[in-house]
Structure 1
Amino acid sequence: MKQKTTGIIILAAGSSSRLGQPKQFLQFNGKTLLFHTAEQALKITDHVIVVSGAEPIGIEKQLNSVVNINNENWEKGMGSSLRKGLKEMLLLHPGLDNCIVTVCDQPFIDSSVFQSLIDQQEASGKGIVASAYAAISGVPVLFTSGYFGDLLSLPDTGGAKMLISTYQHDAAEIPFEKGAIDIDTMEDYQKLTEGL
C-alpha cells in the first residue's frame, strides 16, 4: 500500500486590521509566527504552500524555501485564499491524498498537531479531521481528497469550518487545547509574551 501524501496550506493573507500591524511578522520565541508555522509544517511534508495577500513581499522574504502564492483578491475573504492555495497545491502535487489547512496566528502549533491529524484520519477513516478547542472544531483541519471539490467551491467568505459543520457525520477530531490561543489584537499578543 502506497504511503499517503499530505499537503499543508498556511493561510496568511489577512491585513491584521484589529492588531494594527501584520500578525504574520510578530515575534514569539525568537521567530515570527509565520516562520514558526512553516517550519513545523515542513517537518511533516515538503508540500507546503503559504497564501499571502496584504503582505506578499514581506512574506516572500521570510519564506524563501516555501512556495508562496499571492492572492490578489484576499480582501474578498478566507474562502478566496483557500481556493487559491488548493488550486496551486493540486497543480504542483496532483496525486495528493490529504490537505491540511492551517493559519499562522496559533503560536502553539507544532508538527505533532499536524501528525495527529494524519494519524487520526488513518485510524478513523473519516474524510475530515479537525482540531478541538474552546468547544469548537477548527483549524488546523485535514481534508481527504474527496473534499477537494467542496473546498474549491467555497464562497469567498466561507472557510474550513463551514465544511466541518456541513459534514459532521464524516468528521473526527483531535484535542488541541492551545489552539484556542490565537493573536487577533495587541492585547492577545501582550498576554502571550507576558506569559513566557
Structure 2
Amino acid sequence: MALRIAPRELVSFTGAGGKTTAMFRLAQELAAAGWHVVTTSTTRIFSTQTRLAPCHLRLDQLTYLPFELTAALAIHRHVLITGPTDDIEDKAPGVPIDTVEAISRLPGVDAVLVEADGARMRPLKAPAAHEPVVPASTTLLVPVVGLDVLGQPLTEAHVHRPARVAALTGLAAGETISAEAIAALLGHEQGGLKGCPPGARVVPLLNKLDRLSPDQREAVTAQIAQRLLRQTPAISDVLMGAVATPVPVVEAVGRVAGVILAAGAAQRLGRLKQLLPWQDTTLLNHVIRQALASSSLDPIIVVLGCQAEIIRPTLAPFGTRIRVVTNPAWAEGQSTSVHAAIHALGTHEAPVAAAVFLLADQPDVTPALVDALVARHRTTLAPLVVPYYQEQRGNPVLFDRRTFGDLLAVTGDVGGRPLLHTYANELSIIACKQPTPRDIDTAADLEMPPSPTPLAGGTDRMMRSIT
C-alpha cells in the first residue's frame, strides 16, 4: 500500500540503512498477494541474505533463464537471482543490467525488485561516481536512510563515503549528522536522486523510525519529509517506518492539495455568496485564509465559475499562494468543478498524494480539522477520510489520489458523494463533537453562530504493509 506498487514495476533500492530488508519485505508481501516477483542485485548481496528468498537461482547454473525462472515463479512466486556465490567474501555478485531489463520484460513477471547500491552496512551513504547501478527502465526509485544515524558524527564508523556526504550536505568531517543534512542528501541530484531515470517515481524511505523518541519523530516529519516535498518536485512521497518490524511503514507523507469549490451561482441566496462580507474580508477569501492557515495543504486550488471575471480580481492579494482555475461548465453541476480541479492537479509541477475538497460557503471549517484529515491519511492511506459531526457525515472530505479516476467519472451536481458508497468499507472517519458546520445558503444563515469542530478521535486503519 505505502509504495503504491503497480503491476510490471521495476523498483530500485539505493542508499543505506535497510535496502535489503525493505526489498525482501516488499517481495514477501507481493508474493503473498499472488504476484510473481523477482528480486536481484546489480551490486553484491551477502550469501546469508540469499536465504531470505524461498528460491535462489544462480546465473552460472542456468541454461535458459526465461524457462527456468518461469517454472520457479510458478512454484514459489518469489525468486532471487544472483551471480555465483563467492565463498571467500561470502557474497553473491549481482546480475548485469541488461539481464535485469530482460527479466522485467518477461510476461510472467509481475514486478522486479533490485538492490542497486552498496553501503557496507552503514546507515547513511553518498554515492561514488560509479554508483548507484540503477537500471534505465526503473519505474520506482527508493533511496533509503537509516535514521539511527541522526546525532552521530560524520565518520567512517557511521557513514559510507563520509567525504562525499560532507561535499553534498556542507557538513564538516566529524560534525553531528542532523535531519537537515539527511534531507539535503536525499534531495540532491548527486545524492538520493542520483541515477534516477526520467519519469520514474521517487519515494525515499526513512527507515529505523523505531530507534527515535516521539519528539525526534515529529522533527523527522517536519525537517526531512516535508522539506523534501517542498523542495524536490521529483519526490512523490516520503515513507517513514521500520521495515524489520511487524508494521514496516508508520507514515506515508505526500503533498495534499486543498481544493476550494467556489463556482456556484448561489440561487437560493439570490446574490453572489462568494463576495459576501465576512469578518474583515469576503466569504470566499475567509475560506482561502483558513486553507492557507493549515500546515498540511500545498498546493491550494480555487475553482471559479459563475461570474468568475468579477471574483478573480478579489483574489489578487493571495498572489502565487493559490492557483485559480475557471470552470466554464459550472452550470452543469458540482462534478464539473471537481473535474476541473483534478485536471489542474494533473498539470501541477509535483505529484500530489491526495486532495481535501472544501466548500466556499462553509466558513467554520478550521485549519485544525484539515490537518487532522491529512494526519489520518498519512497513517492509513485510506481512499477517503471523512469527518462525522455528532454521527452525521459532513465536509470537508479528503480523497486519496487513487480515487481521482473515479471522481472524473462522476457527473451531475453531486461532487464526490458517490465515492462514499464505492469505498464504504475503506473509509477512515474523524469524529467531531460539534454539529455540522453551517452552509451559507440564505440570509438567515449569515446570522447563525459559528460551529467550531473540536475533534474526538475516530476510526483508524493503520497501514500494515510496504506494498
Q: Look at both structures and tell me which one has the larger radius of gyration over its CA atoms.
A: 2
Decide whether the 8 Å contact of 1:109 with 1:179 is kept in 2: no
The amino acid that maps onto 1:8 is G
Superposed CA deviations along residues 7-61 of structure 1, whole A, max 9, x for unmatched, are: 1110000010100111111222222121111112123334011111112123211
* Cα offset, 1:156, TM superposition: 2.9
Distance of aligned partners of 1:4 and 1:71 in 2 relative to their CA distance in 1, 3 Å threshold: same
Decide whether the 8 Å contact of 1:132 with 1:175 is kept in 2: yes
Decide whether the 8 Å contact of 2:338 with 2:407 is kept in 1: yes
* Cα offset, 1:178, TM superposition: 5.0
What is the aligned partner in structure 2 of residue 23 from structure 1? 273
Superposed CA deviations along residues 143-184 of structure 1, whole A, max 9, x for unmatched, are: 111111111111133312221132111111223435431111
1:128 aligns with 2:380: no
What is the aligned partner in structure 1 of residue 431 from structure 2? 175
Distance of aligned partners of 1:174 and 1:93 in 2 relative to their CA distance in 1, 3 Å threshold: farther
The amino acid that maps onto 1:113 is L
- 1:149-160 map, 5 Å: 149-160=405-416
What is the aligned partner in structure 2 of residue 188 from structure 1? 445
Which residue of 303, 315, 339 corresponds with 1:63? 315
Q: Distance in 2 between matches of 1:148 and 1:98?
A: 9
What is the aligned partner in structure 2 of residue 105 from structure 1? 361
Greater displacement, 73-82 / 25-34: 25-34
Q: Which runs of 4+ in 1 moved over 4 A?
A: none
Which residue of 291, 295, 300 corresponds with 1:41? 291
| Structure showing greater relative contact order (alpha-carbon pairs closer than 8 Å, 6 or more residues apart) | 1
Unaligned runs of 5+ in 2: 1-204, 206-237, 239-252, 451-467
Q: Distance in 2 between matches of 1:22 and 1:171?
A: 34
The amino acid that maps onto 1:54 is C
Q: Distance in 1 between matches of 2:376 and 2:265?
A: 33
Decide whether the 8 Å contact of 1:8 with 1:102 is kept in 2: yes
What is the aligned partner in structure 2 of residue 115 from structure 1? 371
Structure-2-length-normalised TM-score:
0.39
Q: Distance in 1 between matches of 2:404 and 2:308?
A: 25
Q: Distance in 2 between matches of 1:154 and 1:104?
A: 20
The amino acid that maps onto 1:111 is P
The amino acid that maps onto 2:353 is D
Q: Distance in 2 between matches of 1:144 and 1:162?
A: 15
Structure-1-length-normalised TM-score:
0.89
Unaligned runs of 5+ in 1: none
Decide whether the 8 Å contact of 2:334 with 2:414 is kept in 1: yes
Q: Distance in 1 between matches of 2:409 and 2:420?
A: 14
Greater displacement, 12-21 / 94-103: 94-103
Decide whether the 8 Å contact of 2:258 with 2:301 is kept in 1: yes
Higher helix share: 1
Q: Distance in 1 between matches of 2:269 and 2:300?
A: 26
2:397 partner SS: strand
What is the aligned partner in structure 1 of residue 305 from structure 2? 53
